[in-house]
Amino acid sequence: MNAELTTTQAVVEVKTASTPQGMHHTVMDISGEMVLLTWLMFTVTAFILYKIAWKPILAALDKRENDIKASLDTADKARQQAEDTKIQCERLLQEADAQARELIEQARKTAQETSDSMRNQAREESRLLLVSAQQEIAFEKEKAVNALRQESAQLAIELAGKLIKKNLDTEQNRALTGQWLSKL
């Protein structure tokens, strides 16, 4: 009861104390001035903030977004390019390797062929030399034999003439001697 009483008293006291001129506005009162003031302050603040904050911030955010997107694109492109280059490098290396192998093979083949041909040539030459030497030997031998034959026949005739001291037909004797010699 006491509490209720004091509450009522307080309300009365507050009302009387706080309304000396009887011109007070509560938060629930509709006040055109307050509305106008809010509009004015909000508009001015919004305009100033748009100029000093929102516009540059939003522009910076857009720019950053675009920059990041562009950087990512560039990085992607660069990576793609690097991959392409790598593949190309590998291909070139493989080609070079194959070419080198081919060259070596070719060189080896050429060397083989050269050595083979040189060897054959040498062999042929030596064979020819041998053949000519043989021919020469045979020819010389023939010549020597003939010379020897003629010499010996001459000698035999001389010898026979000397020995026999007989006037014989030289032609006949020579024929005879030749006959004998061929039988030898």
Partner 1 sequence: MTSSVDIATNAVSAGGPVDTKIAVHDFIYEHVMYHIAEADVWNLPFVNVPQLDIFRYDGVMIAVGCLLLIFFCGFFYKPNKSVQHGWANLLEVFVLFIRNQIAIAFLGEKDGRRMAPLFCSFFFFILILNLLGLVPLFTTATGNINVTGALAAITLGFMVGGGIYRCGVKNFLLTFIPPGLPLPLKIFMAPLEFVSMISKVMALMIRLFANMLAGHIIIFSLVGLVALFGLWAAPVLALVVCVYFFEIFIAFFQAYIFTLLSAVYMGQLYRPEH
Compute the least distance from the CB of residue 71 to partner 1, in Å.
Answer: 13
Scanning 56-64, 86-94, 113-121, 155-163 for contacts with partner 1 by CB under 8 A, the matching segment is 56-64
| Binding-site member from 13, 73, 84, 113 for partner 1 (CB under 8 A) | 13
| Binding-site member from 57, 104, 128, 176 for partner 1 (CB under 8 A) | 57
| Residue that has been written with the tokens 């020597």 in this structure | 144
Give the whole-angstrom CA distance, residue 6 versus residue 14: 12
Compute the least distance from the CB of residue 43 to partner 1, in Å.
Answer: 9
CA-closest candidate to residue 156, choices 124, 128, 179: 179
Compute the least distance from the CB of residue 12 to partner 1, in Å.
Answer: 10
Give, to the nearest 10 degrees, the angle between helix 170-183 and helix 55-164: 130
DSSP string, 37-69: HHHHHHHHHHHHHIIIIIHHHHHHHHHHHHHHH
**Residue 55 interacts with partner 1 (CB under 8 A): yes or no:** yes
Q: Please list the helix, strand and coil fractions of the chain in percent, rounded to the nearest 5, in that order.
A: 90, 0, 10
**CB-nearer residue toward partner 1: 67 or 158:** 67
**Residue 149 interacts with partner 1 (CB under 8 A): yes or no:** no
Scanning 2-10, 105-113, 146-154, 158-166 for contacts with partner 1 by CB under 8 A, the matching segment is 2-10
Instruction: Assess contact for 149 and 181: CB atoms under 8 A.
Output: yes
Judged by CB under 8 A, the chain residues 17 through 36 that form the site for partner 1 are: 17-18, 20-21, 23-31, 33-36
Residues binding partner 1 (CB under 8 A) = 6-7, 9-11, 13-14, 17-18, 20-21, 23-31, 33-39, 41-42, 44-46, 48-50, 52-58, 60-61, 64
